[in-house]
Homo-oligomer: A and B are copies of this chain.
Amino acid sequence: MNTHVNVHEQTKLDHPFLLRAWYAAALSSEVGPTELFHRKLLNVNVMIYRTQDGTPVAMRDRCPHRFAPLHLGKRQGDEVSCLYHALRFNSEGHCVHNPHGSGIIPKAAKVRTFPLVEKYGYIWIWMADEEPDPSLLPDYGPLSEGHPNGVAHTYMYLKANYELIIDNVMDLSHIDHVHGEIITTRGQLSPLVPKVVEGERTVNARWEWKQTPAMHIFSNFMPDPAGEARMFFDITWHQPANIQLSVGAIQGPGNLDLKDCVGQYDLHTTTPETENTTHYWFSTRRNHIEEDGEFNKMKIQAMHNAFVDEDFPIIEATSAEMATDDFFSLDPVLMSNDVAPVKVRRLLQRLIEQERQG
């Protein structure tokens, strides 16, 4: 894995985001074996494609000759030739063919590539100039382990700043107010003050409570579907924009974890497209009826719809109302349910400032 530092481009990539970090670029399933996939990430147009052995590669979606988007071009084996004047680049971004004049390849004819890691059903991208640090990609192993019908992923897009989405997930007290019957805690969640623990690059929050019956998505899988259950939420934000969420319910003895509970292991991850638009992915693995493909499809569609129909109108309207104002400059009223999201905002801000100071 190589970074291709380019002093000139360093300036062009300047923006308000944390750079020394792994961002989701796409689901593995979004990038087909032969297509030239493209997406704007952190204000930069990026092309992603798979070499013939399936390895994903990413490079700036801009020919260094005349700045045409490379994804409009043509694949030739593992190489891509620009549609406009047919300069051809290999998967390391080096020009390997120039059909013009004597055919000499100009020294400057190279495209910035971005290190990728494909893991947990995602293609992760490193957009900083510095050498990528594999240790900064959290371990989301459970997404990759188990029956393929027990896990599902979905992609969503919204017109809002990405930090508003992190706020949304880090303060789960909203679910009783925004969402319907299927995940209601019947008002049990809001009165709780979650236990919040801040790490070097993480913020964890945990809620434990009882409700009757259990959350609707779990109750039918419990010994007594109508009876009281103990439940937990455990969420961990990891820089730059990932939130791993575990949720489960149990009746009778046992621990409040995914080993003992009927529950699921989720990942919410976002990548800014621009300051005001965001790519948002959600993945979920459940620990019950894992082989049921029909249930799997129905459930991810229901989750997708709940986010898009119920959360997004609020988040997008809030982003529009805030316009480009800084969150804290608007003097938000902060309450006990804001502890976790506010810790995330402040930690992320510190990490960005540290990065800028070198």
Contacts and interface: CB of A to CB of B under 8 A. Distances in A.
A159 B81 CA distance: 24
A193 B330 contact: no
Interface string A102-117: 1100101100000000
A174 interface: yes
A68 B311 CA distance: 11
A356 interface: no
Interface string A57-91: 00001101111110010000000011111110000
* Interface size bracket, A side: 35 or more
Interface in A151-197: 167, 171, 173-174, 176-178, 187, 190-193
Contacts of A68: 314, 317-318, 321
A313 interface: yes
A332 interface: yes
B333 A190 contact: no
A8 interface: yes
A176 B192 CA distance: 68
A103 B102 CA distance: 74
B321 A45 contact: yes
A349 B176 CA distance: 51
A193 B99 CA distance: 11
A310 to B, nearest CB: 9
Number of identical protomers:
3
Contact of A72 (B65, B69, B106, B317): B317
A302 interface: no
Interface string A317-332: 1100110000000111
Given A8-B331, A86-B176, 16 more contacts: A45-B321, A61-B321, A62-B321, A64-B331, A65-B332, A65-B334, A67-B318, A68-B314, A72-B317, A84-B318, A85-B174, A85-B177, A85-B337, A101-B190, A106-B334, A108-B331
Interface of A: 8, 45, 61-62, 64-69, 72, 81-87, 98-103, 106, 108-109, 167, 171, 173-174, 176-178, 187, 190-193, 313-314, 317-318, 321-322, 330-338
22 contacts: A45-B321, A64-B331, A64-B332, A65-B332, A66-B332, A67-B321, A67-B332, A68-B314, A68-B318, A69-B321, A72-B313, A81-B177, A82-B177, A83-B177, A84-B177, A84-B318, A85-B174, A86-B176, A86-B190, A101-B336, A102-B336, A103-B191
